[in-house]
C-alpha cells in the first residue's frame, strides 16, 4: 500500500531541502526523494561549497606566495600540498551535507534514497510517485535500510527540485579525464600543466582562477565578445583586465570546434576572427552552461508543458501545468542560482499554506567569486539604456577607500544606478574586495525601496569597505566626499 504524505519533494538540493524543511515547519507531513547518497544537491556536493573551499584555499596560497612580503611578513616560498587542500574541501562538504541530514531528522522529514518518477494520479486525485533503487535512511544512527522496490508514495502535492547538469560541447562529449565538467575540475589529483576552459561564465572563471593560483597555465575560450555577458559591462572589462594581469589568457569570440587526443593530452581546436587555431592542453574544462534535469521524471509523459528553452512552465504559485505538481530552481525560467532555488522553494510551500509571499526577482543578486570578486543586483546600465529608463550613475573606486588601502586591495569600484526622477535605486554593481558580502546591503536597499540619497545618509563604520557603497550613492548627486 502506498505511503501518503502532504508533500513529496523530489530532489534534496538547495531548492528541495529548504522547501521540505519549511513545509515541515508549516505542519506538513513531508517526504523527500534524493538519488544521491548525500544531501544538498549539486550546490553542496560539487558546486557552490567545494568550489568556494578551493577558491579560499587557493587565495590563501597565492597571498602567502605573492603578497605577504608587502606586509613585512618574510617566509620561505610556500609549498603546495594539493592532497591536504582537497581533503579539507571534502571534509567541509561532508560537514555541511551531514548538517542537512540532521535538519531532516530535527524536522521529522522522511527521506528516501532512489530515483523518482511521476505517474498518473490515483482514483482520489492524489499525485503518485514511484521510487526505485530505494533506501530509507534510518535515523538516528544514519544507516541506510533497504526498502522493497519499487516503492509508491502519494500526496496531493509534489514539488520537483531536481536541479541541472552541465551541457557538453556539441562534438566533444565529457570523458571525465581530459574533457571534464566542474565536478571533475574540483578534484584534479595534480595541478594541470595547461587547463583550457571553454566558457567565460561564472563557473569557468572561478575554477580557472583556482588552478591558475595553484600554478597551472590557464586559457579561457569564450565565444561571445565579452566575459560574463549578463554582468555590467564596465565590471566585465575590469575583471578581464585583472584576470589577464594574474596570468589568465582570455580569448574572446573564440568558438571551440573540436578536440584531438594525444595520449594523456589533447589539442583543442577553435576559431577566432575567422581563423582556425589549436591549443595543446592536458585538461579541457567545459563550462558553457547547464540544462534542467528532467530525465526519467515522467513530467512530459503526463502532459507537463516546457518553455522553448526546456524549462517547466509554472504559475505564480510555482504550480506546473500538471495539477498539484510544482517546480522550482533550475527547472524553471531564471538564473540557475542556489539562492534563487531556496527562496522559490520557501515561497512555493508558503503559498501552499495560503501565505501570500513572493520572490522579488528584481533584487536577486549574482556573484562571481574570482579575485577580486564581482557582485551585482538589479539592472545594468545596458539594460536601462535598452529600456529607455532615465537614470543617474554614482561611482566610487576602492583606490580611495581607507580599508581597501590597508588591505592592499585597491582594484575595482562600486557603481550605483538610480532613477533620474525618483532617485530609487535600480542597480548596484561591485567589483573589488569582498564584493560578495558588500552586495547584501545593496539587496536590502533595493528590496526596501531605499533611494540613493537615503543610502548615502546611512552610517557606515569607518574604516570599512562598505563606505565605498555610501560614497557611490552620494556620487549620484555629486556629493561624494572622498571621490
Where residue 478 falls (left for φ over 0; alpha for ψ -120 to 50; beta otherwise) is left
Among residues 339, 419, 462, 477, which one is catalytic? 462
Among the listed residues 113, 264, 116, the one whose alpha carbon sits nearest the alpha carbon of residue 179: 264
The SS3 call for residue 30 is strand
**C-alpha cell recorded at residue 413:** 569600484
DSSP 477: T
Residue written as grid cell 502532504: 6
For the chain, what is the total number of helices (H) and then of strands (E)? 13, 24
Among the listed residues 353, 430, 437, 361, the one whose alpha carbon sits nearest the alpha carbon of residue 395: 430
**C-alpha cell recorded at residue 170:** 556539441
Helix axis angle, 338-352 to 16-25, nearest 10°: 30
Distance CA 432, CA 239 (A): 9
Distances (CA, A) of 193 to 139, 213, 256, 257, 297: 45, 12, 20, 22, 41
Q: What 3 state SS string does 44-106 have?
A: HHHCHHHHHHHHHHHHHHHHHHHCHHHHCCCCCCCCCCHHHHHHHHHHHHHHHHHHHHHHHHH
Other beta carbons within 10 Å of 478: 9
The yes-or-no answer on residue 462 being catalytic is yes
DSSP 202: H
Catalytic site positions: 462
Amino acid at each position: 500500500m502506498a505511503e501518503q504524505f502532504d508533500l513529496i519533494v523530489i530532489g534534496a538540493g538547495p531548492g528541495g531541502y529548504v522547501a521540505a524543511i519549511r513545509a515541515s515547519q508549516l505542519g506538513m507531513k513531508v517526504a523527500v526523494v534524493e538519488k544521491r547518497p548525500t544531501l544538498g544537491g549539486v550546490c553542496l556536493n560539487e558546486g557552490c561549497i567545494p568550489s568556494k573551499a578551493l577558491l579560499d584555499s587557493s587565495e590563501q596560497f597565492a597571498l602567502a606566495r605573492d603578497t605577504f612580503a608587502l606586509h613585512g611578513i618574510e617566509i620561505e616560498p610556500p609549498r603546495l600540498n594539493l592532497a591536504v587542500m582537497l581533503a579539507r574541501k571534502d571534509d567541509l562538504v561532508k560537514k555541511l551535507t551531514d548538517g542537512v541530514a540532521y535538519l531532516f531528522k530535527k524536522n521529522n522529514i522522511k527521506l528516501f534514497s532512489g530515483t523518482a518518477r511521476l505517474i498518473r494520479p490515483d482514483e482520489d486525485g492524489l499525485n503518485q510517485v514511484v521510487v526505485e533503487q530505494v533506501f530509507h535512511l534510518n535515523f538516528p544512527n544514519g544507516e541506510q535500510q533497504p526498502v522493497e522496490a519499487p516503492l509508491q508514495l502519494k500526496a496531493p502535492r509534489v514539488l520537483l527540485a531536481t536541479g541541472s547538469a552541465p551541457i557538453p560541447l556539441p562534438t566533444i562529449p565529457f570523458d571525465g579525464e581530459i574533457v571534464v565538467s566542474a565536478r571533475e575540475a574540483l578534484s584534479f589529483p595534480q595541478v594541470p600543466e595547461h587547463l583550457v576552459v571553454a566558457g567565460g561564465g561564472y563557473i569557468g572563471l572561478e575554477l580557472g582562477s583556482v588552478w591558475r593560483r595553484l600554478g597551472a597555465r590557464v586559457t579561457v575560450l569564450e565565444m561571445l565578445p565579452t566575459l560574463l555577458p549578463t554582468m555590467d559591462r564596465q565590471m566585465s572589462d575590469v575583471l578581464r583586465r585583472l584576470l589577464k594581469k594574474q596570468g589568465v589568457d582570455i580569448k574572446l569570440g573564440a568558438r571551440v570546434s573540436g578536440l584531438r587526443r594525444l595520449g594523456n593530452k589533447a589539442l583543442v581546436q577553435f576559431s577566432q576572427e575567422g581563423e582556425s587555431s589549436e591549443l595543446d592542453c592536458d585538461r579541457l574544462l567545459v563550462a558553457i552552461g547547464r540544462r534542467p534535469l528532467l530525465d526519467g521524471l515522467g513530467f512530459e509523459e503526463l502532459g507537463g508543458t516546457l518553455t522553448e528553452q526546456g524549462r517547466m512552465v509554472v504559475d505564480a504559485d510555482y504550480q506546473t501545468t500538471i495539477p498539484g505538481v510544482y517546480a522550482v530552481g533550475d527547472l524553471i525560467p531564471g538564473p540557475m542560482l542556489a539562492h534563487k532555488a531556496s527562496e522559490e522553494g520557501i515561497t512555493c510551500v508558503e503559498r501552499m499554506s495560503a501565505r501570500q509571499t513572493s520572490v522579488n526577482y528584481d533584487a536577486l543578486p549574482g556573484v562571481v567569486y574570482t579575485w577580486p570578486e564581482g557582485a551585482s543586483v538589479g539592472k545594468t546600465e545596458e539594460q536601462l539604456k535598452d529600456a529607455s529608463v532615465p537614470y543617474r550613475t554614482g561611482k566610487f573606486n576602492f583606490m580611495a577607500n581607507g580599508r581597501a588601502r590597508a588591505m592592499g586591495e585597491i582594484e575595482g569600484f562600486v557603481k550605483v544606478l538610480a532613477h533620474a526622477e525618483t532617485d530609487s535605486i535600480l542597480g548596484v554593481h561591485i567589483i573589488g574586495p569582498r564584493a560578495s558580502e558588500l552586495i547584501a546591503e545593496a539587496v536590502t536597499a533595493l528590496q526596501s525601496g531605499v533611494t540613493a540619497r537615503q543610502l548615502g545618509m546611512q552610517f557606515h563604520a569607518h574604516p570599512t569597505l562598505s563606505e565605498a557603497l555610501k560614497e557611490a550613492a552620494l556620487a549620484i548627486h555629486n556629493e561624494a566626499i572622498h571621490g
